[in-house]
Copies of this chain bind each other. A is one copy, B any other.
Amino acid sequence: MSSEATEERVLDAVRARRELVNEALDEDVPMSEPERLYEATRYLLQAGGKRLRPTVTLLTAEALADVEPLSEEYRSFPALDGSDLDVMAAAASIEVIQSFTLIHDDIMDDDDLRRGVPAVHKEYDTETAILAGDTLYAKAFELMTQTGADPQDGLEAVRLLATTCTKICEGQAFDIEFENRTEVLPDEYLDMIELKTAVLYGAAASTAAVLMGADDETVEALYRYGIDSGCAFQIQDDVLDLTVPSEKLGKQRGSDLVENKETLITLHARQQGVDVDGLVTADTVDGVTEDAVDAAVGELNDAGSIDYARDKAQELTDRAKSHLEVLPDNEARSLLEDIADYLITRGY
C-alpha cells in the first residue's frame, strides 16, 4: 500500500477513536477541588493530541478478541474468557501517564510550548505543574485498577504500568546525563530512547492483552511490537528533522543540529569521524540558512549516517510488524501494522 493510503487509514482509525478517548479522559479525570490544581491537571489532556497510544491499546484489544473494529463497547469489552472489562480505562490510563510525563519533562527541559499552547508550568507555575503531574500519575494508577478485569490480570497490568514509569524516569535521566557527556555510543542512545519513549508504546500495546487474559507469549510479542515501533518512531523523528522541508516541518529544518541535540544520526557520524560540532556554525535557529543545512545534510549523507538511521528505523518497523503474527489475522491487526508503517512514513 502507498504510504499516503496507509497514513489515511491510520488517521481514520485514530479519528474514529479520538472522540471516545477524549470523552473517557473527561469523565475519568473530572474537575474537582482545588479548582486551580484540577484545571492544570486537565489542561494538557484537553489541549489535544492524536491519542495514538490509546488507539493502539484499543486496537490490540479488538485484534485479540478478533472482533470487527468499533463493533464492541470499549467500556464493556469481551475478555478472552468471555467476561467483560473496561478496556477504555486502560487506554485512558496510558494517555494520562503520557500527559504526566510531558508536564514534568517540560519543567525539566524548560520548554515553553507543548501541543501549540504554553506548557503547564508557563500557563500556571512550576509548583502547580509538579502537582498536576503528580495528580495525573495517581489518576493513571487509579484508572488501571478500575478495568473490572480478573483481579490477577488487573494487578499484573498495574505492575506493568509501574515498571514502565520507572523506565521512563530512567530514560529521561539518561537523556539529561547524555547532554553533559563527551561521548555517547549509538547503542547507548538506542537504549535511552527505548526507556524514554518506547516503553510507553510497549505498555500501550500489551496492557489490553494482560487485562484480557492473553498468554505470556502474546503479551510479550505485543510489548515488543510497541517497543520496536516506538524506537522506530523516535529515530524517524530525527531523520525528518533533517530531510523534511521547513514549511512542511512547521519549524526550521536542521534545528536539532543548530541546538546541538545529539541523535542517532550525529552519534553515528561522530563514529565516522565527521566534525559534528562544526557542521552548522549558526548559534540560533533563526540564524541558519537553508544552504547551510543542505551542506550539513550532505556531509551526514556522505558519512552514511542518515541512511544508517533510516535503515535502523525500517528494520525496527519490520520487526515490530513481525511480532503481530501472534494475533489473529484480522482488520484490527492490519491497522496495527499500518500504524507501525505510519510512524516512520508520516509527514511531520
Q: Chain A: residues with CB nearer than 8 A to chain B?
A: 32-34, 36-37, 104, 107-108, 126-128, 130-131, 133-135, 137-139, 141-142, 145-146, 150-152, 154-156, 158-159, 161-163, 165-166, 169-170, 172-174, 176-177
**C-alpha gap A16/B162 in the complex (Å):** 31
Q: Given the known inter-chain contacts A138-B165, A159-B142, please indicate yes or no for A127 contacting B36, CB distance below 8 A.
A: no
Could you jot down 19 A-B contacts, CB within 8 Å? A33-B170, A34-B170, A34-B173, A36-B173, A37-B169, A108-B127, A108-B130, A131-B172, A133-B134, A134-B169, A135-B166, A135-B170, A138-B165, A138-B169, A141-B141, A141-B165, A155-B155, A155-B158, A158-B158
Number of chain copies forming the complex: 2
**C-alpha gap A1/B135 in the complex (Å):** 42
**C-alpha gap A152/B37 in the complex (Å):** 31
Q: Given the complex, which residues of B lie within 8 Å of A170, measured CB to CB?
A: 32-34, 37, 135
Q: A166, B138: Cβ atoms under 8 Å?
A: yes
Q: Given the known inter-chain contacts A137-B137, A151-B154, please indicate yes or no for A159 contacting B145, CB distance below 8 A.
A: yes
Q: A165, B137: Cβ atoms under 8 Å?
A: yes
Interface of A is mostly: helix
Q: Given the complex, which residues of B lie within 8 Å of A133, measured CB to CB?
A: 134
**C-alpha gap A146/B158 in the complex (Å):** 11
Other contacts beyond A135-B170, A142-B159, A145-B156: 6, CB < 8 A: A37-B169, A130-B130, A131-B169, A139-B162, A142-B163, A151-B152
Q: Given the complex, which residues of B lie within 8 Å of A177, measured CB to CB?
A: 34, 36
Q: Given the complex, which residues of B lie within 8 Å of A154, measured CB to CB?
A: 151, 155
Q: Given the complex, which residues of B lie within 8 Å of A108, measured CB to CB?
A: 126-127, 130-131
Q: A141, B169: Cβ atoms under 8 Å?
A: no
